[in-house]
Amino acid sequence: MSKNFLVERVLPTEQIETDKKRNYEYPILLLLLCIFLAFSFYKLTESPKTWYDEGILTQVAMNIAAEGKYMIQIAPEKFVSAGFVSTGYPVIYPVGLAFHYFGMNLFVARFVTVIYLLLFMTLFYILARRLHGVWGGILAASVMASFAPLFGHGRNVLGEIPGLFFLLIVLYQLSKIAQQNFTASPYSIAITGFATGLAVSTKPIFMLLLPALFVAYLWSWPRETRSIKKLVAFFICFLIPVGIWVVTQFDNGDSIASMLSIYSNPAGYSPASLLHIILGNVRRFFTEWKAIYMLVLWGAWVISFGIRWARGKKPFEIAELVAILFATFVLAAYVRTEGWYRYFFLAEVMAFLYLPRLLHTWAIELGRWIPSSTKFLQYATYVFLVLLVLGQSYYLGAHSWIVADFTRHRTEGLENYFLHFDKSKSVFIYNVPEVALFANGVSYYQYLEVKQYLVVGQNEIRELDDGRPDFLILFADEWEKTLARFPRYQKQEVIDEYVIAAKKPA
pLDDT of 366 reads: 82
Question: In this structure, is residue 20 part of a structural domain?
Answer: no
Assessment of whether the complete model's pTM goes beyond 0.95: no
Mean pLDDT over 38-65 rounds to 95
Tell me: pLDDT of 266 over 70. Answer: no
Query: What one-character DSSP code corresponds to residue 159?
Result: S
The chain-wide mean pLDDT, for the chain, equals 89
Tell me: pLDDT of 7 over 80. Answer: no
Quickly state the pLDDT bin for 263 (edges 50, 70, 90): low
Tell me: pLDDT of 363 over 90. Answer: no
Per residue in 457-471, pLDDT (tens digit) is: 999 999 998 999 999
Quickly state the pLDDT bin for 46 (edges 50, 70, 90): very high
pLDDT of 359 reads: 92
pLDDT of 12 reads: 45
Would you say 486 and 464 are in contact if contact means Cβ atoms under 8 Å apart? yes
pLDDT of 315 reads: 56
Question: In this structure, is residue 123 part of a structural domain?
Answer: yes
pLDDT of 4 reads: 39
Would you say 356 and 134 are in contact if contact means Cβ atoms under 8 Å apart? no
What crossing angle do the helices spanning 160-179 and 89-102 adopt, rounded to 10°?
120
Where is average pLDDT lowest: 42-51, 77-86, 250-259, 411-420?
Answer: 250-259
Query: What one-character DSSP code corresponds to residue 432?
Result: -
Tell me the C-alpha to C-alpha distance, in Å, between residue 138 and each of 15, 31, 127, 365, 416. 21, 12, 11, 24, 43
Mean pLDDT over 76-81 rounds to 92
Per the structure, how many domains does the chain have? 1
CA distance 349 to 335: 18
Tell me: pLDDT of 15 over 50. Answer: no
Per residue in 305-341, pLDDT (tens digit) is: 888 888 776 657 899 999 999 999 999 999 988 889 9
Q: What is the DSSP string of 74-117?
A: EETTEEEE-TT-SS-HHHHHHHHHHHHHH-SSHHHHHHHHHHHH
Quickly state the pLDDT bin for 370 (edges 50, 70, 90): confident
Per residue in 438-489, pLDDT (tens digit) is: 998 899 999 999 987 889 999 999 999 899 999 999 999 888 888 778 889 9
CA distance 404 to 47: 8
Run of H or E residues at 286: helix 271-287
Percent of all residues in the chain with a pLDDT value above 90, rounded to a whole number = 65
Question: In this structure, is residue 88 part of a structural domain?
Answer: yes
The residue among 118, 241, 215 whose CA lies nearest residue 168 is: 118
Query: What one-character DSSP code corresponds to residue 280?
Result: H
pLDDT of 254 reads: 63
pLDDT of 343 reads: 93
Instruction: Give the domain range for residue 204.
Output: 83-405
Mean pLDDT over 217-242 rounds to 91
Question: In this structure, is residue 296 part of a structural domain?
Answer: yes
Mean pLDDT over 23-39 rounds to 87
CA distance 219 to 257: 32
Quickly state the pLDDT bin for 9 (edges 50, 70, 90): very low
Question: In this structure, is residue 311 part of a structural domain?
Answer: yes
Quickly state the pLDDT bin for 383 (edges 50, 70, 90): very high
The residue among 435, 434, 466, 433 whose CA lies nearest residue 447 is: 433
Residue type, 149: P
Question: In this structure, is residue 464 part of a structural domain?
Answer: no
Quickly state the pLDDT bin for 41 (edges 50, 70, 90): very high
Quickly state the pLDDT bin for 267 (edges 50, 70, 90): low
> Exposed e or buried b for every residue in 355-388, given b needs 16+ CB within 10 A?
bbbbbbbbbbbebeeeeeeeeebeeebbebbeeb
Q: What is the DSSP string of 352-396?
A: HHTHHHHHHHHHHHHHHHSGGGHHHHHHHHHHHHHHHHHHHHHHH
Question: In this structure, is residue 329 part of a structural domain?
Answer: yes
CA distance 163 to 60: 18
pLDDT of 118 reads: 97
Q: Which residues, 6+ apart, have CB-to-CB distance to 422 below 8 Å? A: none
Question: In this structure, is residue 75 part of a structural domain?
Answer: no
| Rg of the chain, C-alpha, whole Å | 26
Q: What is the DSSP string of 174-225?
A: HHHHHHTTT---HHHHHHHHHHHHHHHHH-GGGGGHHHHHHHHHHHHS-GGG
